[in-house]
C-alpha cells in the first residue's frame, strides 16, 4: 500500500514539475556562417516590432531600445519614424523601409515579429487537492468524508495560449541577415512582463551566439 502511495506521489510531483516550466524559452537560433564578429563596427540600430497590437509594439520597442542603449548603441524606433501604421500587416515596402533606415544613419536593423499563436482549452479541477485513488478505505463513511468537500466545488475550463516570436538582425548596408532566433511564450501574465522577459531572453541568446561580451 505504501509503495502505491509513494508511486502516486512521485507521479503527481513529476506532473506538477512539468507544468511549471519556463514561461518563455528559446526554441532555435541561427548565425550567418559568413558573418565575422568584430570585422565591422556597428553604431546605430533601427528597431521594429512587427506586431498588430500597438501596446505590445510600444513595450517591445521601448524595452529593446533600452537594452541596446545600455550596450552603447544609438537607437531609432520604428514607431518614431513610421508611426502606428508600421505593423506586420501594413509594413512599408522593403525599399521604402531601407531608405528610411539609412537616412537615419542606422547600420543595423533588428525586427521582432509574432510568427504564430496557438490556443488550447483545458479543464481545471475544482479543488487542486484531488489525487487519484485516495486511501479512504473500503467503507462508505470513509469514502463520503473524503469526497463530500468536493461535491459542490465545480471546476472550470481555461484557455492556454502559446506565442511564437521571431527576432532577426540584419546588416543595413548589405541587407544580409546576421542572426535569427525563435522563442516560445506560454500564457504571458501581462504585456509588461512579457516584453521585458522576451527582450532579456533574446539579448542573452544573441550575446551567446555571437560571442559578444556582456
Mean pLDDT of all residues in 117-128: 74
Identify each DSSP E strand in the chain by its residue range: 24-31, 44-50, 74-77, 108-124, 156-171, 177-186
Return the C-alpha cell found at 31. 548565425
Render pLDDT for 13-69 as a digit per residue (tens, 0 to 9).
334 334 445 689 999 999 999 999 888 999 999 999 988 888 999 999 999 999 999
Residue 135, pLDDT above cutoff 80? no
Q: 52-56, 146-150, 185-189, 206-210: lowest mean pLDDT where?
A: 146-150
The count of residues in the chain is 214
Q: Which pLDDT belongs to residue 6?
A: 43
Range with the poorest average pLDDT among 55-69, 134-148, 187-201:
134-148
Average pLDDT over residues 167-173: 94
Q: What are phi and psi of 183, to 5 degrees?
A: -130, 165
Distance between CA atoms of residues 134 and 136, nearest Å? 6
Question: Lowest-confidence range among 2-11, 20-29, 138-147?
Answer: 2-11
pTM metric for this prediction: 0.73
Q: Are 54 and 88 in contact (CB under 8 A)?
A: no
Nearest of 80, 89, 114, 101 to residue 175 by alpha carbon? 101
Maximal CA-CA distance, the chain: 82
Q: Count Cβ neighbours within 10 Å for each residue of 63-80 and write b for 16 or more, e otherwise.
A: bbbebbeeeebebbbbbe
Per-residue pLDDT for 136 more than 70? no
pLDDT at 119 (0 to 100): 86
Domains and CATH numbers, the chain: 24-121+157-210 (3.40.50.10610)
Window from 3-7, 66-70, 173-177 with minimum mean pLDDT: 3-7
**Residue 116 main-chain phi, psi, to 5 deg:** -165, 155
- From 4-13, 79-88, 143-152, 159-168, the region with the lowest mean pLDDT: 4-13
Amino acid at each position: 500500500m505504501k509503495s502505491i502511495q509513494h508511486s502516486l506521489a512521485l507521479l503527481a510531483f513529476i506532473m506538477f514539475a512539468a507544468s511549471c516550466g519556463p514561461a518563455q524559452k528559446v526554441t532555435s537560433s541561427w548565425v550567418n556562417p559568413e558573418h565575422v564578429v568584430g570585422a565591422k563596427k556597428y553604431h546605430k540600430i533601427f528597431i521594429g516590432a512587427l506586431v498588430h497590437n500597438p501596446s505590445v509594439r510600444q513595450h517591445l520597442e521601448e524595452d529593446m531600445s533600452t537594452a541596446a542603449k545600455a550596450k552603447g548603441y544609438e537607437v531609432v524606433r520604428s514607431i518614431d519614424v513610421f508611426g502606428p501604421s508600421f505593423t506586420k500587416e501594413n509594413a512599408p515596402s522593403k525599399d521604402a523601409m531601407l531608405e528610411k533606415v539609412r537616412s537615419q544613419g542606422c547600420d543595423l536593423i533588428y525586427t521582432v515579429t509574432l510568427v504564430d499563436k496557438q490556443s488550447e482549452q483545458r479543464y481545471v479541477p475544482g479543488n487542486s487537492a484531488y489525487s487519484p485513488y485516495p486511501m479512504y478505505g473500503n467503507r462508505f463513511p470513509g469514502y463520503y468524508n473524503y469526497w463530500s468537500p468536493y461535491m459542490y466545488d465545480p471546476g472550470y475550463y481555461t484557455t492556454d495560449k502559446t506565442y511564437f516570436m521571431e527576432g532577426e538582425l540584419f546588416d543595413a548596408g548589405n541587407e544580409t541577415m546576421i542572426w535569427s532566433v525563435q522563442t516560445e511564450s506560454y500564457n504571458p501574465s501581462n504585456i509588461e512582463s512579457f516584453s521585458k522577459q522576451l527582450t532579456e531572453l533574446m539579448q542573452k541568446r544573441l550575446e551567446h551566439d555571437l560571442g559578444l561580451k556582456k
